[in-house]
Each structure stands twice: as structure tokens, then as C-alpha cells.
Amino acid sequence: MSDNYTVVSLFCGAGGMDLGFKQAGFNILWANDFDEDATITYKNNIGNHVVLGDICQIDSGEIPNNPDVIIGGFPCQGFSVANTKRNMDDERNFLYKEMLRIIDDKKPKIFVAENVKGLLSMEKGKVIDMIVKDFEKIGYSVNYEVLNSVDYGVPQTRQRVIIIGNRIGVDNIYPDKTHFLKDKKQQTLISSNNGLKPYVTTKEAIGFLSDVKITNNELLVGGREIHNHIASTNVSDKFWARKHDVDQAQICDYLRGWRDSSEWTTKKIDEHFGYKHTAGHWFRKDNNSGSIPNPDDWWELKRILNFDDKYDKQVTELIEKEIVFEQSLRITNWDKPSDTITATSPEIHVNKKRRLSVRECAILQTFPDDFIFYGSLSSMYRQVGNAVPVLLAKKIGECVIKMLNQYVGD
Ligand SMILES: C[S@@+](CC[C@H](N)C(=O)[O-])C[C@H]1O[C@@H](n2cnc3c(N)ncnc32)[C@H](O)[C@@H]1O
């Protein structure tokens, strides 16, 4: 019976993954995180079984025995491509060892770990190999897949590595996609799309909150009880911008002229820089809009193509400018699924002079309306941004139930 299957949850955060597993039919016995606000949110929404504390200090004797499944999104900052200190010496990279320790002690039938996609490229793949081997050594049959939430009906592009391991001799099962990108080309394919539904857009998910004034008080909007519709109104940022006006097309055509009269092909230039298709944009291939190299690349390009000084100033002189919300590149998508909701400052609302509210982020992470977050604004943003989208977690949970149902042993 699926509702008897039990879970121990490590690094549970506010409980996105746990709620999804609960919705799939699991009984969560014990959960842990060392972020106090996250545990308060967890307690108020999921259950009292959450324990506040550093996992490194918790003896497995304190954790219930015989869980069917152990789940955990071990911290990913150390692994993230966004983090420049991404290396194997970062002690956060070894928190998965805590998960390994507890899994080795508790011997669940199945474990599910979640992480950022950057994990796969870390140390040229050595880190993921090490993780897989470590779990294999303690008796699990392990593999992983990169899942994009948007393919499962979440109104957000969010790619995560899901690692599943089992010691019960079954195949690890990952969810089938339920949604697809309906672009011009694919519209003609709708009828043959095997019942897949189009991606859910940001507007469809949070459009109803656009004109609702931000407040942390409870609201009733279109029959929905809304909490945490609170947002940062800091929508300006400093950034490095070009000091002078530039005409991109003109500069790209100029670069193409210099390339044509040199020995260099676009392919060779890409190889020289270690890029895949970047140089094609610098030279405005097929007269499509081009993009100007960044200053470092400009100087290197100049060295190899030996062009004159005509555009040096325009391209390389930068000044710090204030970026205001109308100009921000980080304005959220509206007619597409949103970009990844992050744990720090969320994107700026497409029509408003504010960032997305905690509730808007929570909806894009498929938290239900009655799931209320606690803590300061930045803490709530962090809890929401750290979470596995509930809907994706539910679908993963359903796969784990299928695996457990195939097991005929003890
Ligand atoms: C990516 S988040 C997990 C989010 C969660 N899976 C969800 O769906 O909501 C990682 C969590 O690990 C917690 N964490 C980091 N180091 C920890 C430690 N040493 N002990 C306990 N929790 C820790 C962080 O506080 C954070 O909430």
C-alpha cells in the first residue's frame, strides 16, 4: 500500500520535495534542516516531525529506522556554475557524504537526491562519478537524469539532476514528460504530440496577481486565499555598461571585413577562444543581428585579426550605470514559463516596479496557496528559491512508489 511507504528527508528546507512526496502518498517520518525559518515553515505546513540542527552533528541513532526511502537535496552552492569557488575543496561539496552515511546506516530501499545541473560538469564529471561510485559501494544501483520542471507542467524552466538509487533489484524510474514547448514549428505537431500539453506560461500562473497591491496580509483574489504577496521594491542595480553608444551591426560588419581579409575562419576563431558558436555572432552570420565581443575578447580578436583602432573606445570603455527596472534583462518572462526562481533576489515583475512577490515565486514553484512561508522577506525568498517544485517532486514520488510496488522482498 503506497500510503504506508515511509520517508526520511535530509536537507528538507521549507519542504518542497517533502510536500510533493506527501502528495504522492508517502508518510514522512523525520526531516532535518539547520535553517530555523525553513523548519518553522515546514512545521506549520507539513508536520512536527522536522528537526532543527546541523546534519553533521546528528547521530543516525536519532533518525527512525527502516524508512522505505531517504530523500535529500544536499546543498548545491559549492557545485553551482554561478559560484566561482566551484571545486572539490569546498566543504559544502562533501555534505552528500552525510547523506551517504545515513543511507548506509538506515539502508532504505530507495534514495532520491536532487542537485543543480552544474554538478555534472564539476571537475569534468569527476564529482558525479565519485558520488555514484560511493553509493554503489554501499549496495545501491544508481543512475541520474536531468529533469526540466517545465516538461512536467511547472510554469518555470528549472533543470535539476535527480539521482535515484535502489537496493531492491528494480529499474530506477523517472517521470515521463507531460508538457511541451508550443512554438511556431511545433504547433503543426500538436495532433501528434501524444497528449502532451503546452508549457504553462508565467502569465497563466501569476497573471491574476499583477494588479494586487503587495501586502503580507491574507487576501482573497478571485476566490483564492493568498498569503505572502510581499515583494522587494528594490528594482535598481548597478552594472557595467558601455560608455559610448554603439551600432552593433556596424561593428559586426566591420569585424567580418577584417576576418574575410585574414587567414582566420569563424570555426578557427571559435576553437581559438574555446567557444562553440560565439564568433558567428560577432561576424553577423547571414546578416542576422550580431553581438559585440566583450572587452577581453575584443583585445584578443584584435591581436589575431590585427584590425585598426576605429571601434576600440566604443567597445571597451565601460562605466558603472544604474539599471532601472524597464531596462533590466531580468524582467520575468510573461508569455513563456518563467526562468529559474533563485534563492536570492527574484526577477522583476514584467509590469510592475517591484520584484516578484514571495507568493508569485511560490506559485511558479507550484506550492499550493495555503502553504504559508515564515521569516524575513529574504529568508522567504530563499526558502522558495531553494525548493524542488512540488509538482515535479510529486511526479518523482509517484515513480518511487511504482518502484516500491515492484518489490516483492522483505
Ligand atoms: C537546496 S535546499 C533543499 C530544499 C528542499 N529539498 C526543498 O525542496 O524545499 C538545501 C538545504 O540544505 C540545508 N543545509 C545546508 N547545510 C546543512 C547542514 N549542515 N545541516 C542541515 N541542513 C543543511 C539548507 O538550510 C537548505 O535548506
Measured over the CA atoms of residue 253, residue 256, residue 260 and residue 262, the dihedral's sign is: positive
CA proximity to 399, closest of 219, 248, 223, 173: 173
pLDDT value, residue 323? 64
For ligand 1, atom 1, name the residue with the nearest CA.
386
> Ligand 1: distance of its center to the CA of 12 in Å?
6
For ligand 1, atom 26, name the residue with the nearest CA.
13
Q: Is 54 a pocket residue for ligand 1 (Cβ < 6 Å)?
A: yes
Atom of ligand 1 nearest to the CA of 14: 9
157-to-67, 150, 340 alpha-carbon distances in Å: 32, 5, 5
> Ligand 1: distance of its center to the CA of 182 in Å?
35
> Ligand 1: distance of its center to the CA of 175 in Å?
24
Q: Which residues pair with 156 in a beta bridge?
A: 338
The best mutation among 9, 386, 390 to test binding of ligand 1, ranked by most ligand atoms within 8 Å of the C-beta, falls on 386
Q: How far apart are CA 363 and CA 154, in angstroms?
A: 9
For ligand 1, atom 7, name the residue with the nearest CA.
387
Report pTM. 0.78
Question: What torsion, rounded to 10 degrees, do the Cα atoms 31, 34, 39, 42 define?
Answer: -40
Place of cell 528594482: 235
For residue 359, pLDDT over 90 is answered with: yes
Q: Is 55 a pocket residue for ligand 1 (Cβ < 6 Å)?
A: yes
For ligand 1, atom 14, name the residue with the nearest CA.
11
User: pLDDT of 94-129, one tens digit each?
Assistant: 788 999 999 999 999 999 999 999 889 887 888 899
What CATH code is assigned to 238-322?
1.10.260.40
pLDDT value, residue 84? 44
130-to-88, 127, 137, 211 alpha-carbon distances in Å: 11, 5, 10, 49
pLDDT value, residue 370? 97
Q: How far apart are CA 117 and CA 162, in angstroms?
A: 9
What is the architecture of the domain spanning 2-180+374-406? Answer: 3-Layer(aba) Sandwich (3.40)
Write the CB contacts of 187 (distance below 8 Å, at least 6 apart in sequence): none
What residues does each domain of the chain span? 2-180+374-406, 238-322
Q: Is 399 a catalytic residue?
A: no
Q: Is there a contact between 51 and 36 (Cβ–Cβ < 8 Å)?
A: no
**pLDDT band at 66; cut points 50, 70, 90:** very high
DSSP for 229-265, please give it.
B-------EEEEEESS---HHHHHHHHHHHHHTSS--
For residue 36, pLDDT over 50 is answered with: yes
Q: Is 12 a pocket residue for ligand 1 (Cβ < 6 Å)?
A: yes
- Of 12, 56, 76, 361, which one is the catalytic site residue? 76
For residue 217, pLDDT over 70 is answered with: yes
pLDDT value, residue 92? 54
Q: How far apart are CA 323 and CA 349, in angstroms?
A: 15
**pLDDT band at 206; cut points 50, 70, 90:** very high
